[in-house]
Structure 1
Amino acid sequence: MDKQIRQRVSLFNPIHFLALGFGSGLAPKAPGTFGTIAALPLVVLLSLYSSLSVYLLITILASIVGIWICGKTADDMQVHDDSSIVWDEVAGMLITMFAVPLSWQSLLLGFVLFRVFDILKPWPISYLDKHVHGGFGIMIDDVLAGLFACLVLHLGFYFFSS
């Protein structure tokens, strides 16, 4: 993020703090990866200490409110989808791990799958990434990447667990 853009956001602003993934989006390299890593403690806490319905509710809220959080921060930055905005990765990782049995192996596999889908952007993710703008545009590609990764995880558990 260049200096002019950095001056338009503040980690003391709760909207910016969330959009920047609790500050992880300010990493000088691979901010999306760091945003995904920042989501892992939230995934673990929700998986261990909440019901599936609470996990789902928080994931839906994170995704819907994320449209506004990311859109507002992008407007404040005056940049459509700056790489430092990583709340979409947080929501995407929550989606990825929905109803997945929690272990370090499933977290690692979920992390890798989500990052692969987020980076490679297979169709229709790539189409939406290029053609949908605003907060919804920032969020939708990561929501779909999370859904794809979640589906692959569940299929893997179905076919490969004994």
Structure 2
Amino acid sequence: MGLDLGIFALTTAVVSLLGIFAAQRMVKLNGVEDPRWIVIDETAGMLVSLTPLLLGLPIKPISLLAAFILFRIFDILKPFPVGWADRKIHGGLGIVLDDLFAGVYSAVILYFCRGLL
């Protein structure tokens, strides 16, 4: 099963932009800075964390589980710049950007560990 890089990148960009819009709208409507019931930001971050699937990471349950666990670790621990985006960039962009950064950390680790999975 081959994944097309262009389609994957476009999907990730669309989900990210929709996430920014949805999160910003919820912030304005509800006055809540990071509405926890909006999860499209996590979806965008997970898509980024799955990027190594396009670069040779085998598509199997262990790879998907590793991507999810790593993404959640970085999303919870919030190392720089994840935490910085979460604290300093407000509104929809900040809500989504911290998850995109967490996805990048996850993707980098998965890529370099691809021979182990």
**TM-score normalised according to structure 1 size:** 0.65
Post-superposition offset of 1:69: 1.4
Whichever of the two has the greater Rg, that structure is 1
Of 144, 148, 154, the residue aligned with 2:101 is: 144
Per-residue deviation, residues 95-145 of structure 1 (Å, max 9, x unmatched): 110142311000100000000000000112111211110100111100000
Question: How many angstroms apart in 2 are the aligned matches of 1:67 and 1:121?
Answer: 19
Question: How many angstroms apart in 2 are the aligned matches of 1:61 and 1:155?
Answer: 27
Equivalent residue, structure 2, for 1:90:
43
1:79 aligns with 2:32: yes
CA contact under 8 A between 1:52 and 1:99: conserved in structure 2?
no
Q: Which amino acid aligns with 2:42?
A: E
Higher relative contact order (CA 8 A, sep 6+): 2
Equivalent residue, structure 1, for 2:112:
155
CA contact under 8 A between 2:26 and 2:35: conserved in structure 1?
no
Equivalent residue, structure 2, for 1:119:
76
Q: Which 4+ residue blocks in structure 1 deviate beyond 4 angstroms?
A: none
Gaps of 5+ in 1: 1-47
SS state at 1:79 partner: coil
Per-residue deviation, residues 64-105 of structure 1 (Å, max 9, x unmatched): 221111111221222111222211101011111014231100
